[in-house]
Amino acid sequence: MKKIIILFIFVMSGSAMLFSSCAPTKEIADKSGAQLWGENCNRCHNAPSMDQYSKEQWPIIGSHMKLKAGLTDDEVNKIVSFLKGS
Ligand code: HEC
């Protein structure tokens, strides 16, 4: 019986750790465009710098790469406004 209780506590603390590590939503929401750009836009190719494309081109590239990178609207908007320099 003791063993079962110990096992139960072990499993519960393990799953508590698992759940807490799956809740970074607030941190993601707090990330800046520069941070998101650095973390996402160099996964498949070198991250393009802001002077490589114009203010008119970035939103188009953003919507294109949003699909490729699996980013949310919010994340892409932040990255695009960072790259537009505003
Ligand atoms: C999942 C992989 C992947 C990620 C992540 C990714 N890209 Fe790309 N990107 C590509 C591929 C593949 C191409 C070339 C083929 C194409 O254009 O479809 C490309 C092309 C580009 C180009 C060339 C012009 C164009 O639109 O084709 C730019 C600029 C670009 N990416 C910017 C970005 C930015 C900014 C991010 C971050 C938001 C990003 N990429 C994230 C895969 C990715």
Q: Tell me, what's the pLDDT at 9?
A: 55
Q: How far is CA 71 from the centre of its chain?
A: 7
Per-residue pLDDT tens listing for the chain (86 residues): 666 665 555 555 555 555 555 444 555 678 999 999 999 999 999 999 999 999 999 999 999 999 999 999 999 999 999 999 96
Q: Tell me, what's the pLDDT at 23?
A: 47
Q: Which amino acid is at 12?
A: M
Q: Tell me, what's the pLDDT at 34?
A: 96
| Nearest to 82, CA basis, from 2, 61, 64 | 61
> Which two three-digit tokens encode residue 45?
């190719």
Q: Tell me, what's the pLDDT at 30?
A: 84
Ligand 1 atom nearest to CA at 64 = 26
Q: Whose CA is nearest to atom 28 of ligand 1?
A: 61
Q: Tell me, what's the pLDDT at 24?
A: 46
Distances (CA, A) of 72 to 3, 26, 28: 46, 14, 11
What is the Å distance from ligand 1's center to 76 Cα? Answer: 12
